[in-house]
Each structure stands twice: as C-alpha cells, then as structure tokens.
Amino acid sequence: MSTMFRPLLRMPRSRAHSTAIWRRTLATLNERTLHATPLGAVDGTFGAEVSGVDFSRPLPPPIAAEIVQLQNLYGVLVFRSTGLDDDAHVRYSKNFGALESIHGVNKPRRASSPHLYDAGNLDAEGNIIPKYSRAWWHSKGNGLWHTDSSFNQHRSSYSALRAVELPPRGGATMYADMRAAYDDLPASIKQDLDGKIAEHWIWHSRKLAAPQEFDKPTEQEKRAIPPAYHTLVQTAPDTTRKTLYIASHARRIVGMPERESTELIRYLLTHAQQPKYQVACQWKNVGDLVQWDNRCTMHRATAFEDQANRRDMRRTTVYDHGPYAFGVRLGLTEHDVDVLCGGSTDITAGPTPETQTQEQVQAL
Ligand SMILES: [Fe+2]
C-alpha cells in the first residue's frame, strides 16, 4: 500500500466539527412525537431504535417528515414489531418516494408485490435455497459491505427491510456510517478524492464473494444490470456533512490506472469498515423493520445456519430524488463497453433518467 493511503491515528478536527453540527441539529428539531434511542456507535450519532410510529394506520405527513429528520441524523432506524404485512409495508414505504421494482435475476420473485425484494434464503416455492446453487452463490455478495442499488444509474435513497421469519440464531445486519468515515480521512486523501467517479457493477461484488461461480457473469445477467457511475464524495442528505459513496460493487475509479484504482477502492472500503463506524442490528421479532439511508451508509448481512433454518426478509427500496440521484452518465466508447462487459456489445451507455424512473432493477 502506498504511503498516501496510510490510516489516520487520531480524530481530525473535521470529525469533531461534524459531531457538533449533528448535536446542534438534534437540539433544533421541532417538538417531536417519536422517540429515538441511539444504538451506541460513533458517539451515539449513528443508528437509533425508534418508537412512537403507529404502523396500523396511514402515516400522517408530520410523522413521515419526522422520520426523514431522524433518518438524516442517524442513518439507520430500527422499528420493532411493526405488524406490517406485505401491502402495508409497500404503502408505508411510498411515503418516502417511488419504489424500485425487482428484476428477479437468479431468484424468481416470491413476494406478493413487485416492489418487495426477497432478501431471505427461500426460493419461489418457499423452500430453502440449496447450498452451491447459483442463487445461493449470488446471496454470498450480501455479506460484503455495500449500499443497495449503487449499481443502478438511478440509485436508491432508503431501504426498508422487514423480518417475516427469523432463524433462532445469527443473521444480524451490520451498518457503517460513511459520513464519519469520510470525516476521519486525512486531508490529502479528501483532496485526492474530490471529483472522482466510481464505476459500480453488481457482477464485480458477485465475483468478489464467489470468484469461481461469478468469474464470468452470463450474457443475460450482464444485460440485466449494466454498470453505473457515481461520484465518490457527496454531500450527505442532511446537507451539513460530506459522505463517501462506495460499496463492494465499486469496480474501478474512472480515469485511474487499474492498480491505483483497485488500491484506492480497497483502502476506502477497509477504512470505512472499522468497528468504530459500525452498529449491529439484531433482528428480534417478526415484524421488525430497519430503514436505512443508502446515500450515507453501507451494510452487510452476517451468517446464520442457512441450510437448517428459514429466514424470510422482504425489502422495499425507495428511489433517490436528491441531487445525486442519477449519478454521472458517461458517454462510453466502444472500447469502454468492451472492457466493461467482457466483449458483449449489448450494453450501451445506460438508461436515461427518464427510462430509469419507469424501468429499474433491484438487487441485494
Ligand atoms: Fe443490501
């Protein structure tokens, strides 16, 4: 590793400054109906368990606005025992924007709504997905640090994951605060990252997790989910802080030599997954719902006995409608397409924002 990427040993002033801004924002929130209990990591500023939402009724706009405020502050919100079913889960999520539809690559849709992504270990018939099947290998990528839909040109804002059936042990979801991770980067690295664009490709993370099985994605897989491009450093949704937008889907930094690009991505992912930036969500009850902001967090699934126990998890994913929603559209040359797609000529520069709002893919 080059000396440029040496980790920082103490908190820089910018991190303390960000924390001070965070506390001021919390103090200036209007009278709140909801109660948030921090999950504990990163000075109590990342992740909170929230009570006070009545999920049995349509969400009043002031409560939805309060959830957005809390989401901006904490990044990850845990709601216990919501009692939501599929329809109510979808209705709740629509309070925050239009929803992605699932693509069904490597795993046919099982849930009742096209807006519910099946994040469990069950196949279309509700049976446990067998070990070493394509779908089983595909799910291994969920264990890498990532953010949902960064491989889509129209990315997502929130994911809302609901427990329908839980294993007796294991299966916690881990989250990392990408604002705090950015704050702690050395100034020289921050300067170097400014304006850089990362290419996100889901088949890259599949290959990282299952090198043999996903050494070469199929033509159908490549056609279904082409690469997407997003700036590496962004303003966080609360607009007071910057955040790192990276994931295990990140295959390269546009314009950098391959070796440097790979080294930089590895450095940033390693930096961001330090325990001090993490919180763990332990799934306790059927109906628990965790909603996180993909624009300023990463997450990963943890292991459970997936051949002995059923785990039924369903997720809605909300389209981002902020300033970075559509990432950066690059005009790809024929050579670029060849490099990106391993010789396939089926992938173009990517859908336009207009078509993406109508037709979008979802995975993870
Ligand atoms: Fe995910």
Taking only the tens of pLDDT, the chain with its 364 residues reads 444 443 333 444 566 777 776 666 666 665 678 999 999 766 788 999 999 999 999 999 999 999 999 999 999 999 999 999 999 999 999 999 999 988 665 555 666 788 999 999 998 888 999 999 988 988 888 999 999 999 999 999 999 999 999 999 999 999 999 999 999 999 999 999 999 999 999 999 999 988 888 888 888 888 888 999 999 999 998 778 999 999 999 999 999 999 999 999 999 999 999 999 999 999 999 999 999 999 999 999 999 999 999 999 999 999 999 999 999 977 554 444 444 434 332 222 233 332 333 223 333 3
The Cα–Cα gap between 288 and 171 comes to 13
Confidence (pLDDT) at 20: 73
The Cα–Cα gap between 161 and 137 comes to 21
Question: pTM of the full predicted structure?
Answer: 0.84
- What is the 300 CA–ligand 1 centroid distance (Å)? 6
Confidence (pLDDT) at 338: 44
- What is the 63 CA–ligand 1 centroid distance (Å)? 26
**Residue 21 within any structural domain of the chain:** no
- What is the 7 CA–ligand 1 centroid distance (Å)? 27
- What is the 115 CA–ligand 1 centroid distance (Å)? 15
- What is the 73 CA–ligand 1 centroid distance (Å)? 20
Confidence (pLDDT) at 346: 29
- What is the 335 CA–ligand 1 centroid distance (Å)? 31
- What is the 230 CA–ligand 1 centroid distance (Å)? 18
Confidence (pLDDT) at 1: 40
- What is the 308 CA–ligand 1 centroid distance (Å)? 22
Query: Element (H or E) spanning 47, and its range?
Result: strand 46-51
- What is the 147 CA–ligand 1 centroid distance (Å)? 6
Contacts of 6 (CB under 8 A, 6+ apart): 186
- What is the 188 CA–ligand 1 centroid distance (Å)? 31
Confidence (pLDDT) at 344: 32
**Residue 4 within any structural domain of the chain:** no
Q: What is the domain range of residue 187? A: 28-358
**Residue 254 within any structural domain of the chain:** yes
CATH number at residue 244: 3.60.130.10
The one-letter code for the residue type at 148 is D
- What is the 159 CA–ligand 1 centroid distance (Å)? 8
**Residue 10 within any structural domain of the chain:** no
**Residue 9 within any structural domain of the chain:** no
| Domains contained in the chain, number | 1
Q: CA-CA distances (angstroms) from residue 10 to 7, 183, 186, 287?
A: 9, 11, 10, 40
- What is the 173 CA–ligand 1 centroid distance (Å)? 9
**Residue 153 within any structural domain of the chain:** yes
- What is the 149 CA–ligand 1 centroid distance (Å)? 8
Confidence (pLDDT) at 277: 95
Q: Residue 167: helix, strand or coil by DSSP?
A: coil
**Residue 270 within any structural domain of the chain:** yes
**Residue 7 within any structural domain of the chain:** no
Would you tell me the crossing angle of helices 61-74 and 13-28 to the nearest 10 degrees? 160
- What is the 5 CA–ligand 1 centroid distance (Å)? 27
- What is the 190 CA–ligand 1 centroid distance (Å)? 26
The Cα–Cα gap between 359 and 174 comes to 30
